[in-house]
């Protein structure tokens, strides 16, 4: 058996198990199976969520309530309804612009929290938003391959639109593991 394919199967298996655990957790269930259509998130639950999903470092803790207010506003939902591919980037850029995201002391700028926004989007809209983080990007880049090895080259920027376009393109040509 191809070793790289075997590793990918292990990672996929772990992701499936994590997803099953997530859906069986009462704290997540009400947000993942949202029969009432209410997309509100309580601050206590949000604190738990950003810690468990390891995205707490990407949000400005002093501005968390402002961000939650934005999520509860109709703006967020209408953005997702219009064009989910670009809405994740738009919301992440809005967080950066409004200084709701974390500040990078070394580089002297507010970060663009694409991972955080995609994960919140997944909780609220699991049927259309696929969460992205550095591991999913690494996996996609591994499938794409480097240009020097006759691959397509890696994703260049922190863009959900670029990620989801490539993810869907590779998914349609599944499963060309290198």
Average pLDDT over residues 86-108: 92
Question: Would you say residue 168 lies in a domain?
Answer: yes
Q: What is the domain extent for residue 91?
A: 3-172
Instruction: Indicate the number of domains in the chain.
Output: 1
Residue-wise pLDDT tens digits, 31-45: 555 454 555 677 877
State the pLDDT at residue 5: 44
Question: Would you say residue 178 lies in a domain?
Answer: no
Question: Would you say residue 147 lies in a domain?
Answer: yes
**pTM, rounded to two decimals:** 0.71
Quote the CA–CA distance of 158 and 89 in Å, as a whole number.
9
State the pLDDT at residue 33: 52
User: Which among 59-73, 77-91, 96-110 has the top mean pLDDT?
Assistant: 96-110
Specify the higher pLDDT residue, 88 or 15. Answer: 88
């Amino acid at each position: 058996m191809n070793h790289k394919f075997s590793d990918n199967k292990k990672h996929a298996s772990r992701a499936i198990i994590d997803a099953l655990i997530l859906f069986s957790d009462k704290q997540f269930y009400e947000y993942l199976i949202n029969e009432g259509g209410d997309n509100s998130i309580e601050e206590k639950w949000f604190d738990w969520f950003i810690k468990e999903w390891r995205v707490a470092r990407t949000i400005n803790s002093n501005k968390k309530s402002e961000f939650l207010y934005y999520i509860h506003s109709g703006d967020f939902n209408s953005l997702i309804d219009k064009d989910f591919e670009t809405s994740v980037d738009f919301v992440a850029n809005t967080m950066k612009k409004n200084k709701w995201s974390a500040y990078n002391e070394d580089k002297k700028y507010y970060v663009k929290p694409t991972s955080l926004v995609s994960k919140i989007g997944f909780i609220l809209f699991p049927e259309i938003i696929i969460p992205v983080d550095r591991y999913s990007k690494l996996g996609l880049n591994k499938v794409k391959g480097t240009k020097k090895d006759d691959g397509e080259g890696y994703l260049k920027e922190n863009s959900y639109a670029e990620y989801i376009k490539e993810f869907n393109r590779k998914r349609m040509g599944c499963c060309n593991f290198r």
